[in-house]
């Protein structure tokens, strides 16, 4: 088990960086691995077999992080592409239940599917569980809302889905690495690891429960999804892996070199401790702003004209603006000084 202090030592920066919800920071181990890979590439020391081993280890680390077997994990590069495969499997006339205002990668593939008769309904996050009916084929939601940091009531959603015979798809991009996540609770999860997991952009994961996988077609079938990867380079005969690896997408190798140490680091942490650290800072900021505590790592507040965001940026604080609000995110590299810096930067702003 890696301690929080040991993990923090992996980040050379982080002061005034409140942007994990937009982009994570590279660990020293990730930078070292990617530099070594570039040197090997230049010297002609790289090989596909080397990268296969990297991906195998990274898949295993992610599976451990998410409480699933490695055989239930597929790799990819973008969550929207993975969600599109699931959207294509929804029968015409059946309903997909989405969260109003959820991140577009979790919504647009289903909106496109409306063109062939799929029914898509959008409800408020707090109404999601109560809105599931026997007509619902799939419930698609983010565990943590990107725009606000609100956390879904997983127990209620999963219970309602099971009671109504609906499948569940959970986007964990804004949660994995910041809090404990149990992917085994869902029929499918997607996660792009470049945010709280601090991997390079282009490393994404799909987890599939075995029963749900049987309802899907591997629309992105390719050589890397073959049961025997290097025996699958040429057609016409296709023999895809029987487990979730049959939904793998051919990897961008250098990205996975950087992802391996990042995913391994977070898989070795007590994520309940990380979550408590992040939430404590978020609540401290809420106290300073005079707004109700959210119990969240992401804190937002109204900023329609962008003045608060401008003040934060002028003070050298990395923050973001979403849906008419200023947005900051606290991760393991932050401390109470970052809270104080935000409050100081905003003090002169009406």
Query: In this predicted structure, what is the pLDDT of residue 13?
Result: 87
Q: How far is 346 from 311, CA to CA, in rounded Å? A: 6
Query: In this predicted structure, what is the pLDDT of residue 207?
Result: 98
Query: In this predicted structure, what is the pLDDT of residue 113?
Result: 98
Query: In this predicted structure, what is the pLDDT of residue 80?
Result: 97
State the residue for tokens 């992917």.
183
Query: In this predicted structure, what is the pLDDT of residue 348?
Result: 87
Tell which CATH classification among 3.90.1150.10, 3.50.50.60, 3.40.50.2000, 3.20.20.70 matches the domain 4-26+270-346. 3.90.1150.10
Q: Both ends of the chain: CA-CA distance in Å?
A: 45
Query: In this predicted structure, what is the pLDDT of residue 350?
Result: 78
Tell which CATH classification among 3.30.70.260, 3.40.50.880, 1.10.10.1100, 3.40.640.10 matches the domain 47-267. 3.40.640.10
pTM as predicted? 0.96
Domain ranges of the chain: 4-26+270-346, 47-267
pLDDT in tens, 8-49: 999 998 899 999 999 999 999 999 999 999 999 999 999 998
Name residues of the chain where pLDDT drops below 70.
none
């Amino acid at each position: 088990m890696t301690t929080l202090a040991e993990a923090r030592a992996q980040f050379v920066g982080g002061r005034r960086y409140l942007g994990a919800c937009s982009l994570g920071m590279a660990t020293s181990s990730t930078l070292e691995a990617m530099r070594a890979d570039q040197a090997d590439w230049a010297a002609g020391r790289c090989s596909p077999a080397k990268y296969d081993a990297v991906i195998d280890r990274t898949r295993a680390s992610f599976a451990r992080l998410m409480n699933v077997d490695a055989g239930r994990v597929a790799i990819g590069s973008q969550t929207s592409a993975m969600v599109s495969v699931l959207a294509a499997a929804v029968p015409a006339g059946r309903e997909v239940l989405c969260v109003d205002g959820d991140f577009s990668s979790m919504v647009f593939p289903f909106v496109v599917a409306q063109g062939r008769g799929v029914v898509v309904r959008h409800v408020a996050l707090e109404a999601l569980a109560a809105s599931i009916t026997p007509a619902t084929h799939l419930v698609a939601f983010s565990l943590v809302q990107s725009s606000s940091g609100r956390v879904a009531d997983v127990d209620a959603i999963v219970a309602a889905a099971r009671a109504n015979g609906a499948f569940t798809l959970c986007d964990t991009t804004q949660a994995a690495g910041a809090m404990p996540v149990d992917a085994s609770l869902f029929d499918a999860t997607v996660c792009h690891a470049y945010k709280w997991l601090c991997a390079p952009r282009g490393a994404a994961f799909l987890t599939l429960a075995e029963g749900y996988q049987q309802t899907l077609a591997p629309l992105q079938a390719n050589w890397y999804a073959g049961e025997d990867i290097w025996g699958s380079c040429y057609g016409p005969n296709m023999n895809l892996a029987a487990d979730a690896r049959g939904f793998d997408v051919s990897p961008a190798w250098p990205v996975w070199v950087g992802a391996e140490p990042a995913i391994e680091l977070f898989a070795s942490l007590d994520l309940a401790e990380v979550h408590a650290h992040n939430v404590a800072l978020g609540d401290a900021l809420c106290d300073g702003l005079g707004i109700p505590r959210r119990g969240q790592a992401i804190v937002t507040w109204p900023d329609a004209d962008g003045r608060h965001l401008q003040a934060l940026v002028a003070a050298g604080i990395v923050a973001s603006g979403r849906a008419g609000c200023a947005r900051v995110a606290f991760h393991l590299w932050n401390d109470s000084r970052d809270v104080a810096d935000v409050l100081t930067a905003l003090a002169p702003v009406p």
